[in-house]
Every structure is written in structure tokens, then in C-alpha cells.
């Protein structure tokens, strides 16, 4: 298994790109810098759901080539030649890389309107050279996580408000039992001190946390 930090790159927020089998896969590209977009064009783009900080038409256009394939959630793009719409249970193979869409939704009463289960929005399990990578999308700790198997890297949102808090992500990690947990979707929501506190919670309760460094300076803020 290859070193994930040489193949998985955190753009910021919930946005990543992954190098595998000679291909570049973007997940929820958002506020991608011109430098990164010029250097790393997408062969495949995965979109988890319709919110602006995950489904950004400008960023999709910025990182796309003429033959870029897109797998996206409901309420975003229409299915077409280079576009497939995914709901939970969707499976696809992209040049030997397995893509599976899994449920992502809120269960906490204060969050139910943000990511309703009925929207059938998704996270993705990507079977790549670096292992099985689970990008959870925007979600709470849900029972469907318990059926995920052999996850090497679980990319979990920990910012609270719209998704799990760090404490709830610890619960999710107990469901998933991944080899490693990678936090996401928190720095610009929590600010510098809050983000550091979330990382401390994870690192104090889990022995397998990897905090990736963003590959570009943040260009946005929700504060």
C-alpha cells in the first residue's frame, strides 16, 4: 500500500484530489487555486451533494478537461455523456478504481434540515492504489457506517453545526473501524482555535488520526 500523503491531497474544507493508477480524482472541488487547477486536471470528479461548498460549477469547470468524467449526487447535474448521477448503492469502475456511493445524511434534530435522508445524498468509498478511502460527505454518525468494510482512510467531517462534531466523529470511527481517520470540513467553520481544539479531541481519543496539511492557502472563510 502506498503512502496516502503522497497520493491524497487536501485542498481545504471537504475538497480533495487523489492520484491513483495514473489518474487524478477530485472530490467536492471548492475554491481550487489557479495554481493547483493548472497543475492537476481531473480525470474524474466526485460530488457528494448539492450545497455550494461541495457542488461548485466554477470549480468543476476549472479542473475539468474535455474528457473528464463526473459522478454526482441528486439535485446537481443531469445525467449525460460524461455525467452519472449516484445515489446510495451506486457502483462504478473507473480504469480499475472502484467507486461506491454510500448514504450521507443528518440524524441530529438540530441538523435534519441540512442534509435530509430523503435527498439520497452520498459519500464515496474509493478502492484505489493507496487503499480503500471513504469520503463521508456531509453526514452525522449513521448506522450505515457499520456495514463499511476494510476502510483504510476515513475522511470524516468534524466541524459540527452541519455535520458531526469531533466527539461524534469518534463515535463514527468506532462504527467504521478504519485504519486511519482524516478530519475535514472544520477549519473555516471553527476558526483557528476551534479547529485546533477539534484536532486535540480526535488525537486524544483515537490513535490513528492523520491531520493532512492543505496544499494551498485558504482563500475563503465562513466566519
Residue-wise pLDDT tens digits, 146-175: 999 999 999 999 999 999 999 999 999 999
Dihedral of the CA atoms 80, 44, 17, 210 (nearest 10)? 90
Q: Show the CA angle centred on residue 171, arms to residues 167 and 172, nearest 5°.
A: 110
Q: In this predicted structure, what is the pLDDT of residue 130? A: 84
pLDDT digits (tens, 9 = 90+) for 77-126: 999 999 999 999 999 999 999 999 999 999 999 999 999 999 999 999 99
Residue 39 confidence (pLDDT) above 80 = yes
Dihedral of the CA atoms 63, 66, 69, 70 (nearest 10)? 60
Q: List Cα–Cα distances, 7 to 23, 68, 74, 91, 206, in angstroms.
A: 11, 19, 28, 22, 23
Are 90 and 120 a contacting pair, CB within 8 Å? no
Give residue 219's pLDDT band: very low, low, confident or very high (50, 70, 90). low
Give residue 3's pLDDT band: very low, low, confident or very high (50, 70, 90). low
Give residue 188's pLDDT band: very low, low, confident or very high (50, 70, 90). confident
The mean per-residue pLDDT over the stretch 4-9 comes to: 86
Query: What's the whole-model pTM score?
Result: 0.95
Amino acid at each position: 500500500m502506498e503512502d496516502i500523503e503522497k497520493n491524497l491531497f487536501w485542498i481545504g474544507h471537504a475538497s480533495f484530489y487523489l492520484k491513483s493508477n495514473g489518474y487524478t480524482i477530485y472530490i467536492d472541488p471548492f475554491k481550487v487555486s489557479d495554481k493547483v487547477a493548472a497543475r492537476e486536471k481531473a480525470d474524474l470528479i466526485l460530488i457528494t451533494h448539492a450545497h455550494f461548498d461541495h457542488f461548485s460549477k466554477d470549480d468543476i469547470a476549472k479542473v475539468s478537461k474535455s474528457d473528464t468524467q463526473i459522478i454526482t449526487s441528486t439535485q446537481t447535474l443531469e445525467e449525460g455523456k460524461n455525467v452519472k448521477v449516484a445515489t446510495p448503492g451506486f457502483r462504478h469502475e473507473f480504469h480499475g478504481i472502484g467507486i461506491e456511493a454510500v448514504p450521507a445524511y443528518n440524524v441530529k434534530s438540530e441538523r435534519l434540515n441540512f442534509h435530509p435522508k430523503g435527498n439520497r445524498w452520498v459519500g464515496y468509498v474509493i478502492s484505489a492504489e493507496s487503499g480503500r478511502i471513504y469520503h463521508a460527505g456531509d453526514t452525522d454518525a449513521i448506522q450505515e457506517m457499520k456495514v463499511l468494510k476494510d476502510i483504510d482512510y476515513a475522511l470524516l467531517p468534524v466541524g459540527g453545526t452541519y455535520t458531526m462534531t469531533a466527539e461524534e466523529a469518534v463515535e463514527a470511527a468506532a462504527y467504521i473501524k478504519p485504519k486511519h481517520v482524516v478530519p475535514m470540513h472544520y477549519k473555516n467553520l471553527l476558526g483557528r482555535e476551534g479547529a485546533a481544539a477539534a484536532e486535540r479531541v480526535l488525537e486524544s481519543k483515537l490513535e490513528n488520526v492523520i491531520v493532512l496539511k492543505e496544499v494551498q492557502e485558504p482563500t475563503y472563510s465562513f466566519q
